[in-house]
Structure 1
Amino acid sequence: MIRAAVLGSPIEHSLSPVLHRAAYQELGLVDWSYDRFEIDEAALPGFMAGLGPEWAGLSLTMPLKRAIIPLLDGISDTAAAVEAVNTVVLTEDGRRLGDNTDIPGIVAALHERGVDQVESAAILGAGATASSALAALARICTGEVTVYVRSRARADEMGQWGERLGVAVRIADWSAAADGLGAPLVIATTPAGATDPLTAAVPAVPGTLFDVLYDPWPTTLAAAWSARGGPLLGGLDLLVHQAVLQVEKMTGRSPAPLEVMRQAGAAALASATRRRV
């Protein structure tokens, strides 16, 4: 068997196995397997040292996206731009190469919904996903990006990312986050519940909201946005588009079956919701 897997902690919730296995089945890759492993930063070096030649690729989630970098033979310019790797390809000659499919995944998801360019944008939050969102906006936003933050340290970091990426970034306090909902494109990168108090501020004619959460879905903000008729993308859109790129990089097969993977992910989320109810 040719092996691939997703690593992280916690990892039980990950939909990556569902998406990748659906792709393998559609592509006829019967000798490929994809698993999940609960791995934290301390356990990562040992896990990497134990990988044999049967391994083709790894997906990485938190808290490993930065911790993996010293263990690799090289990383792409995209990954270097935000110092975050979510994809490792293990080559036949033994090299371990890191990449970031979150950034092009965000861009691809937006393109799919007709968002090819915006004059300005707002990012809610300043964590790891926010830096990827900023890098994505560097490709499609022609003007200023306002980042609403709750931490001064995060504010400084996002400002530095903006300088590195060539994006005009304005930092604003989280207390003013409601003002950001009027932007043509709003990317919410905060944990579940953080944006709930903002629902009353959804504009009468909203722009596009990309809320990167997928469980629970819809978020309170996403539901309010949709009720106003605003274009809406969710975490499943990001997850599927970045996974498509991972499958293509790991297997060398292109194009990966986007719709099959999307349907598999949606079915898995619906099943999880029914079990909770």
Structure 2
Amino acid sequence: MLTGPTRLAVWGDPIAHSRSPRLHAAAYGVLGLDWEYDRRQVDDASFIGEIEALDATWRGLSLTMPLKQVAAARAATLDDDARLTGAVNTYLLTADGPHGFNTDVGGLARALDEYGVREPRLVRVLGAGATATSAVVAAARAGASTIEVRARRPEAAARLTDLGAALQVEVRARSLDDPHLASADATIAALPGGIDLGPVGDALASGSGPLVDVVYGGWPTPLALAWERAAVAAHDGLGMLLHQALLQVRVFVAEDPARPLSREPEVLAAMRIALMGD
């Protein structure tokens, strides 16, 4: 039995909608760990004060918007994915300070594999914000040789082309409505969930592989409906949420997102059931 700090929570603003407590409770139930996992509304302005107020009973934190960048800046160390993206969604709290991880990248890469996207030739990413950065790294982790980033302002994706050089993959930046469409093995949408691209969405869906839309509220999204009209599979963000949470559990239990848990298949099955509960 693991001993030591036993308190965990998810922080963000807003936070009431978070499914993380049920996911983590299911995991620790399978593992026989009597750990407390709660949620707390914390914004970026109050983040540092809240961190400094934590005592030695705290093991770690899951971090959602708008805290991912400020958490990266405050971390004592960063794993490779956090360093590449400049975003942290997981803190392992130790006497040496908070150690930052980005499990969104691995979670999305694992979801892509689950959807049959393996060694893709080209992956299209819609959007150029913070989530798109994790999507680019995840596409590279999935084996993509080329990543096309589409944004309303292609110049906003310039930093993602630089990221591609660090990942040793080609990243091309184009406008959302650029009529030149190469066939894509998958599309990752990192746009606001309610956005409707109209005919552009239908054009993007045509000749594309499955869509992974990282949102999981208000489903189906207008983009998902475009993929449905094209008779191509569309997946919401729940798969990414599930797998990034599993990697967080690895961090909190084994201090390493690459180290599988004991009874991991049972843990994942329990988390999957909890995710779909009312």
TM range (shorter): 0.7 to 0.9
CA deviation string 1:231-265 (max 9, x = no partner): 33320000000000001211234427112212211
Q: Quote the sequence identity (%).
A: 40
Residue 161 of structure 2: which of 151, 159, 162 is its match? 159
Offset at residue 180 of structure 1 (A): 5.1
User: Residue in 2 aligned with 1:78?
Assistant: 81
Q: How many residues align?
A: 265
User: Residue in 1 aligned with 2:23?
Assistant: 19
1:8 lines up with 2:18 in the alignment: no
Amino acid in the other structure paired with 2:175:
D
Report if the CA contact (8 A) 1:145-1:170 is conserved: yes
CA deviation string 1:7-59 (max 9, x = no partner): 11121221111211122223222x21111111111101111111111111101
Give the secondary-structure state (helix, strand or coil) at the position aligned to 1:114. coil
Q: 1:49 to 1:235 in 2, by over 3 A?
A: same
Q: Distance in 2 between matches of 1:135 and 1:195?
A: 25
Offset at residue 199 of structure 1 (A): 4.3
Normalising by structure 1, what TM-score?
0.87
Aligned ranges 1:100-249 → 2 under 5 Å = 100-151=102-153, 154-176=156-178, 182-197=183-198, 198-201=200-203, 203=205, 206-226=208-228, 228-249=230-251
Q: Distance in 2 between matches of 1:237 and 1:251?
A: 21
Q: 1:179 to 1:231 in 2, by over 3 A?
A: farther
Report if the CA contact (8 A) 2:43-2:67 is conserved: yes
User: Residue in 1 aligned with 2:41?
Assistant: 38
Report if the CA contact (8 A) 1:122-1:181 is conserved: no
Q: 1:180 to 1:45 in 2, by over 3 A?
A: farther
Structure 1: tracts of 5 or more residues without a match: 269-277
Q: Distance in 2 between matches of 1:153 and 1:228?
A: 29
Q: Distance in 1 between matches of 2:154 and 2:231?
A: 34
Structure 2: tracts of 5 or more residues without a match: 255-260
Q: Distance in 2 between matches of 1:69 and 1:206?
A: 34
Q: 1:44 to 1:136 in 2, by over 3 A?
A: same
Aligned ranges 1:251-266 → 2 under 5 Å = 251-252=253-254, 253-254=261-262, 255=264, 257-266=267-276
Q: 1:181 to 1:18 in 2, by over 3 A?
A: farther
Q: Distance in 2 between matches of 1:157 and 1:16?
A: 31
Offset at residue 125 of structure 1 (A): 0.6
Q: Distance in 2 between matches of 1:218 and 1:231?
A: 12
Report if the CA contact (8 A) 2:181-2:204 is conserved: no
Q: Distance in 1 between matches of 2:104 and 2:234?
A: 18
CA deviation string 1:139-192 (max 9, x = no partner): 23443211111235522222222233222111111223x765841111001001
Q: Distance in 2 between matches of 1:211 and 1:58?
A: 25
Q: Distance in 2 between matches of 1:88 and 1:264?
A: 23
Offset at residue 134 of structure 1 (A): 0.4
Q: Distance in 1 between matches of 2:243 and 2:212?
A: 13
Q: 1:170 to 1:110 in 2, by over 3 A?
A: same
Give the secondary-structure state (helix, strand or coil) at the position aligned to 2:220. coil
1:267 lines up with 2:277 in the alignment: yes
Normalising by structure 2, what TM-score?
0.87
Q: 1:180 to 1:122 in 2, by over 3 A?
A: farther
Report if the CA contact (8 A) 1:56-1:251 is conserved: no
Amino acid in the other structure paired with 2:106:
P
